[in-house]
């Protein structure tokens, strides 16, 4: 048997599986844990070797070999099974069975975006922590908003976690706090002050056109309902005897113009919201004045929706968003002091802040708002000011 050891052109002994080609490049042949024969390539054998002229900087052959050995020791497939970021995301989405249509639509949006971005073609084993961070920074610099980036990362991070659990990669490069990398430039929608809430209702009540929406907007400001929950209400959901609103679902419209009556946003959304006497009267007005359509629209087995558009079809969030925009635009055209931005969500936030200011227990407020996490409710309390704190302080001190 020959005992001659193979050497490179510098006289260095080559290990089993290592070869040097005639052009000087190094090759390492091995079998992955899946049994497939694969090769590594590099212009350098050792990390300290000088990079040949014209060669691209890349890890040396021995560095790559060491990583292969570590992966095999840990039972991790080398090169992530040659899977790209887009392929991984699509694989992850395939595992999400039984998700709501709104969630499924969100997945499609992320996939469509990734198909247009070069990052989607990168192999997952080559995505480092710094790569993930720099990609998100680039998205923001190119005009993507914080909330959009948050949505994209909300799909990619669990997809990479799936790859970790499948032992395709060692760690999740997207496992970091988003706020530590990009700036949260989301436009904050503050609650209306008591003065502006009163002024808004006064203006709507006295306007010949917008007065038709007064009762509905009063309800939004005094129940904290999500706009999709509000749109999904029928007379059966308004319980005058128990003085509460039975929130059992939500009416949602999708980009394809289709409408769907779905379960509430979270399990916590399934609740009974208390009504004041004023709110009950507003509902009575709406029910009494509701037009009877020639054909009662039905969506996913639900019919009798309280709020119908001019075509006799159930109104959705978009309708109310537009109404608020028109109300504010008309107001600002006639008054010097502009009205703050008002949306259905601002109404919800206004109610939450109002209840916190009046001292409603945080857990009770969490239930009424349908928050799944108390931290979301407690965030409302951070919006209270010095006067609120002083008032509560004096109340406690005198008890």
| Catalytic one of 265, 271, 354, 357 | 265
144 as an active site residue: the answer is: no
Tokens 């028109």 belong to residue: 326
Residue 24: CB partners within 8 Å, gap ≥ 6?
Answer: 9, 43, 52
- Paired tokens of 262: 């779905």
Could you tell me the sign of the dihedral formed by the alpha carbons of 48, 49, 54, 58, in that order? negative
| Catalytic one of 91, 144, 345, 383 | 345
Q: What is the 3-state secondary structure (H, E, C) of 332-374?
A: HHHCCCCCCCCCHHHHHHHHHHHHHHCCCCHHHHHHHHCCCCH
334 as an active site residue: the answer is: no
| Catalytic one of 44, 153, 226, 302 | 226
Range list of H helices, the chain: 61-74, 85-94, 101-115, 129-141, 146-165, 194-206, 214-223, 227-231, 277-289, 317-334, 344-357, 362-369, 374-381, 386-398
Residue 182 CA to chain centroid, in angstroms? 15
**In angstroms, rounded to a whole number, what is the distance separating the alpha carbons of residues 131 and 126?**
9
Q: Which of 92, 78, 88 is nearest to 125 (CA)?
A: 78
What is the C-alpha R_g of the chain?
Answer: 30
Could you tell me the sign of the dihedral formed by the alpha carbons of 137, 138, 142, 145, in that order? negative
| Catalytic one of 107, 146, 367, 381 | 381
335 as an active site residue: the answer is: no
| Catalytic one of 62, 271, 328, 371 | 371
| Catalytic one of 348, 349, 354, 357 | 348
**In angstroms, rounded to a whole number, what is the distance separating the alpha carbons of residues 383 and 246?**
29
381 as an active site residue: the answer is: yes
**DSSP helix/strand/coil, 211:** helix
Catalytic residues: 226, 265, 345, 348, 371, 381
């Amino acid at each position: 048997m020959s005992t001659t050891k193979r050497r490179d052109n510098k006289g260095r002994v080559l290990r089993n599986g290592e070869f040097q080609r005639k052009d000087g490049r190094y090759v390492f042949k091995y079998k992955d844990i899946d049994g497939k024969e694969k090769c590594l390539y590099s212009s350098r054998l050792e990390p300290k070797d000088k990079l040949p002229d014209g060669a691209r900087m890349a890890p040396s052959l021995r560095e790559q070999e060491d990583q292969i050995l570590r992966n095999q020791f840990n039972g991790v497939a080398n090169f992530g099974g040659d899977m790209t970021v887009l392929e991984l995301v699509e694989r992850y989405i395939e595992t999400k069975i039984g998700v709501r249509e709104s969630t499924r639509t969100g997945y499609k949006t992320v996939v469509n975006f990734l198909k247009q971005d070069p990052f989607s073609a990168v192999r997952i084993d080559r995505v480092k922590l710094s790569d993930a961070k720099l990609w998100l920074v680039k998205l923001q610099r190119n005009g993507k908003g914080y909330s959009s980036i948050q949505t994209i990362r909300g799909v990619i991070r669990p997809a990479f976690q799936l790859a970790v659990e499948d032992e395709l990669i060692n760690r999740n490069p997207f496992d970091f706090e988003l706020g530590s990398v990009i700036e949260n430039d989301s436009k904050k929608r503050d609650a209306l002050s008591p003065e502006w809430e009163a002024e808004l209702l006064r203006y709507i009540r006295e306007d010949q056109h917008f007065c038709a929406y007064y009762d509905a907007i009063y309800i939004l400001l005094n129940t904290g309902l999500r706009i999709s929950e509000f749109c999904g209400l029928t007379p059966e959901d308004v319980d005058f005897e128990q003085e509460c609103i039975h929130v059992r679902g939500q009416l949602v419209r999708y980009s394809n113009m289709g409408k769907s009556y779905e379960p509430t946003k979270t399990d916590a959304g399934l609740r009974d919201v208390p009504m004041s006497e004023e709110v009950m009267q507003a509902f009575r007005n709406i029910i009494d004045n509701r037009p009877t359509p020639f054909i009662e629209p039905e969506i996913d087995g639900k019919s009798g929706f309280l709020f119908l558009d001019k075509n006799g079809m159930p109104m959705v969030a978009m309708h109310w968003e537009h109404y608020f925009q028109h109300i504010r635009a008309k107001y600002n055209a006639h008054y010097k002091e502009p009205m703050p931005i008002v949306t259905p969500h601002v109404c919800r936030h206004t109610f939450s802040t109002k209840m916190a200011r009046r001292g409603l227990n945080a857990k009770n407020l969490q239930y009424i708002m349908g928050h799944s996490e108390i931290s979301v409710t407690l965030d409302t309390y951070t919006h209270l000011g010095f006067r609120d704190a002083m008032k509560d302080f004096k109340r406690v001190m005198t008890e």
